[in-house]
Amino acid sequence: MADEPQRLSKVVAALAKCSRREAEQYIAEGWVRVDGRCVEEPFFRVAATQRVEVDPQARLQRPVRATYLWHKPAGVRNEEALAQLGPATHWAGDASGIRYAKGHGTGLQLLMPLPMEAAGLSVFSQDDGIVRKLTEDAALLEQELVAEVAGTAAPDALARLGRGLVPAKELPPARVSWQSETRLRLAAKGIAADRVPALCAEAGLQLVSLRRIRIGRVPMAALPAGQWRYLPTGERF
């Protein structure tokens, strides 16, 4: 019957004079409002009396397989981020040009996870190429960590840390240097972040905090704790 509720995608297709698939994309990207409320579900049903509006500024973006770069706070499990990777925590400084869409959160995989106690750059992706890169080639990607430490270091502390962080014989030892009296910078391929506390203890140091600030060529930079940005096209690990 004509006055029965219809799928939102069908109504939008008629309003925007576009295909049903394009209508679904308009909805998923947050360009559509029903009675003034943004609706992101294409199969949402609307009555004939409801007002459906497509933002006049709406522009469909090229479909992307999304990769999220998240600044993980210390003490938070990586898996807990999946519930937080939404528009409320999307960094306002994201310069990727990618508009948030609900579908970007489907099928995300956590890659190169950090220990719960550590903070810093974490990656979630639905892009098969990124997933392969950060799993099959993970040991070949240089990571950069900053460790806050306390205590008196043994004379060979830096060399000991460098050897212990990279146990694989085919990989070079970590580059370890003091940034301040209490801060160490660690950079190497194949860094085993979960071993840092024990290795610090062996070197006479107590690890206070650990933060990852770079994976390969991708830095965390100014990304605030608890927020995320997209990996833009052209930025590669």
Which CATH code of 3.30.70.580, 3.20.20.300, 3.90.1150.10, 3.40.50.300 fits the domain covering 67-137+218-230? 3.30.70.580
pTM above 0.85, yes or no: no
Residues of the chain with CATH 3.30.70.580: 67-137+218-230
Task: Spell out the long-range contacts of 230-236 with Cβ–Cβ below 8 A and sequence spacing 24 or more.
Answer: 230/66, 230/67, 230/68, 230/69, 230/94, 230/96, 230/98, 231/67, 231/68, 231/69, 231/96, 231/123, 231/125, 231/130, 232/95, 232/96, 232/97, 232/98, 233/64, 233/96
On whether the CB atoms of residues 71 and 223 are closer than 8 A, the answer is: yes
Provide the CA 2 distance to its chain's centre, in angstroms.
45
Tell me which range, 6-20, 122-136, 146-160, is most confidently predicted by mean pLDDT: 122-136
3-state SS of 88-132 is HHECCCCCCCCCCCHHHHCCCEEECCCCCCCEEEEEEECCHHHHH
> What pLDDT score was predicted for residue 143?
96
> What pLDDT score was predicted for residue 152?
84
pLDDT tens, position by position, 190-237: 888 898 998 888 888 999 999 999 999 999 999 999 999 999 988 999
Q: Give CATH for domain 6-54.
A: 3.10.290.10
Task: Count other C-beta atoms under 10 Å from residue 3's C-beta.
Answer: 8
pLDDT tens, position by position, 92-128: 999 998 988 888 888 899 999 999 999 999 999 999 9
> What pLDDT score was predicted for residue 168?
67
